[in-house]
Amino acid sequence: MSMRLRCDRTPAWGVLRQLFETRGRTLDLRQVFATDPGRFERLTLQAPHVFADLSKNLVDETLQAALTELARQCGVAAHRDALFSGQHVNSTEDRAAMHWLLRQPVADAQALPLPVQVELRQVHAVLDAMLAYAQAVREDVAITDVVNIGIGGSDLGPQMAVLALDEFADQGKRYHFVSSVDGHELSQVLRRVRPESTLFLVASKSFTTLETMTNARSAKAWFQAQGGRDIARHFCALTSNVQAAAEFGISTTFGFRDWVGGRYSMWSAIGLPIAIAIGPQHFRELLAGAHAMDAHFRIAPLERNLPVQLALLDLWHRNFHGFSSRSVAPYHSGLRRMQAYLQQLEMESNGKRVDETGQALPYATSPVIWGEPAANGQHAYFQMLHQGSDVIPVEFIAVKKVAHELPEHHLKLLANGLAQAQALMLGQADPGGHRHMPGNRPSTFLVLEELTPTSLGALIALYEHRVFVAGSLWGINSFDQWGVELGKVLAKAIEPRLESGDTTGLDASTAGLLKRLRS
Ligand code: F6P
């Protein structure tokens, strides 16, 4: 395992604490822009397919250098290299985290350790087979509906990407995503589809997840009750538990390895709905975009490394300024599931209170991630962003060129994004009045040339690596999720009690609610 040092145990941490008192706490964006004409150039970064303006954040050159020094002292580069050489960076589950390998071209295999080369060959074998299958489904006009049954990482990435890449999608088919065990979801979809024209994709890394297995069983029962016979044609499993899929009765399966974390899995067989929607060539472009960002993360110096610099700002906001959330503001309706995707990616990865060795952390970790496509957000919660008592950093995502034929709409949309970021920073003076807006509220502005498979791949990989770096600085394992287990265990125990009404030994609140829900 690489040498890592928790952020608070580095000399740089102490330096940052001092700098926060002497210049961080009082930094005024309006002033620093007025006195530093080179600020925008210095605090902007062009990574593959993603341009980032970091200049409206509460840092200056000195602070940025001190933050970068923190990354150096924490051993972020060595930890990153451990990730990319297949070491078991997921220490509590004793596994590698090699989602990056899913987008690695075969041609680059020689640079990898031998066991990883073997994995890469398997990755490409599955990818080729899965893309051939996706193409066959695309050509099969009898299949009009593709229903993905999966939850968490087996839902959010594919759903987000299929929506984002709608312009590239085969419009001859409809794509449905059923995730919750709430029967409304599945029954709504089943009302709209017919067994002979539907392909069900059962997506579950473990193939044991309660929601997914319940939905899959109900879908299969519905299919058979409607006279459907050919399970092999109408059901396909995407899983690393091939055996469980076979026992369930599904013979068409695309697998992936346990070193693919659920929330990092859209590049694996879990991406099949994306591949069916946009086609094999575009799916390869999605992988290529992510790979370009991997290469940037691996080789760009820390000062010009976008995932590193974003993660350092995240830490600066969270641990020094004490900002407890970040709002994601995509100015493109195709990115309307982005915040849901990022919620899992960031909060399931870095919502931890102990370090890798199990010691309680003396500082805060993952902020709350939230938001909406921002044109809507502006008419809902932006009031709070501008005048509320909490300072909430905002991350704008804008796309320069769009495909629709309403250019004046796009102009207005972009103008609104720029204006909101400007208003957050500038504020408005109305001393003592209700129109006063304090301003000096930080934001980051990301720009994509176009929303394509390539740029989406790069953007998502950027977020993955940023989360990794933040976790690295905080000294936590970003790849486990033990916190979700207790609720699952308790739900299993409560289910039969809901049937029987037995409340013995339950706390008064759970017992009272259980009785009320039964009566
Ligand atoms: O409950 C959390 C979780 O384990 C996520 O990490 C995962 O993405 C999701 O459940 C679904 O798991 P699976 O793909 O195994 O069904």
Measured in Å, residue 94 CA sits from the centre of ligand 1 at 18
pLDDT tens, 448-495? 999 999 999 999 999 999 999 999 999 999 999 999 999 999 999 999
Mutate to test the pocket of ligand 1, among 149, 209, 260 (most ligand atoms within 8 A of CB): 209
Ligand 1 atom closest to Cα of residue 262: 8
Ligand 1 atom closest to Cα of residue 212: 16
Measured in Å, residue 262 CA sits from the centre of ligand 1 at 6
Measured in Å, residue 150 CA sits from the centre of ligand 1 at 9
- Tell me the C-alpha to C-alpha distance, in Å, between residue 275 and each of 77, 114, 161, 353: 33, 29, 10, 37
Q: Which residue is closest in CA terms to ligand 1's atom 6?
A: 262
Average per-residue pLDDT for the chain: 97
Q: Is 247 a catalytic residue?
A: no
Examine the pLDDT at 519 and tell me if it is beyond 90. Answer: no
Measured in Å, residue 129 CA sits from the centre of ligand 1 at 24
Which residues does ligand 1 sit against, CB inside 6 Å? 151-154, 204-206, 209, 212, 262-263, 348, 481, 484
Nearest to 198 by CA among 84, 276, 289, 117: 276
pLDDT tens, 160-174? 999 999 999 989 999
Give percent above pLDDT 70 in the chain. 100
**pLDDT tier for residue 2 given thresholds of 50, 70 and 90:** low
**pLDDT tier for residue 236 given thresholds of 50, 70 and 90:** very high
d(CA 145, CA 123): 27
Q: Which residue is closest in CA terms to ligand 1's atom 4?
A: 262
pLDDT tens, 126-136? 999 999 999 99
Burial class (CB in 10 A: 0-12, 13-18, 19+), 411: exposed
pLDDT tens, 242-300? 999 999 999 999 999 999 999 999 999 999 999 999 999 999 999 999 999 999 999 99
- β-partners of residue 239 are 255
Q: Which of 211, 346, 348, 372 is catalytic?
A: 348
Q: What is the CA radius of gyration of the chain?
A: 24
Nearest to 399 by CA among 387, 408, 411, 391: 411
Mutate to test the pocket of ligand 1, among 93, 180, 484 (most ligand atoms within 8 A of CB): 484
pLDDT tens, 32-86? 999 999 999 999 999 999 999 999 999 999 999 999 999 999 999 999 999 999 9
Q: Is 379 a catalytic residue?
A: yes
Measured in Å, residue 263 CA sits from the centre of ligand 1 at 8
Examine the pLDDT at 3 and tell me if it is beyond 90. Answer: no
Q: Which of 21, 61, 379, 449 is catalytic?
A: 379
Examine the pLDDT at 1 and tell me if it is beyond 60. Answer: no
Angle, vertex CA 18, rays to CA 14 and CA 22, nearest 5: 165
Q: Which of 400, 401, 412, 488 is catalytic?
A: 488
**pLDDT tier for residue 374 given thresholds of 50, 70 and 90:** confident
Examine the pLDDT at 108 and tell me if it is beyond 90. Answer: no
Q: Which residue is closest in CA terms to ligand 1's atom 8?
A: 153
Measured in Å, residue 366 CA sits from the centre of ligand 1 at 19
Identify the helix (H) or strand (E) that includes residue 149: strand 145-149
Measured in Å, residue 155 CA sits from the centre of ligand 1 at 9
Q: Which residue is closest in CA terms to ligand 1's atom 9?
A: 152
Q: Is 348 a catalytic residue?
A: yes
d(CA 155, CA 145): 16
Buried b (16+ CB within 10 A) or exposed e, 329-366: bbbbebbebbbbbbbbbbbbbbbbeebbeeeebeeebb
User: Would you give the DSSP letter of residue 101?
Assistant: G
> DSSP states of 432-494 as a string?
TSTT-B-----EEEEEEEE--HHHHHHHHHHHHHHHHHHHHHHT--TT--GGGHHHHHHHHHH
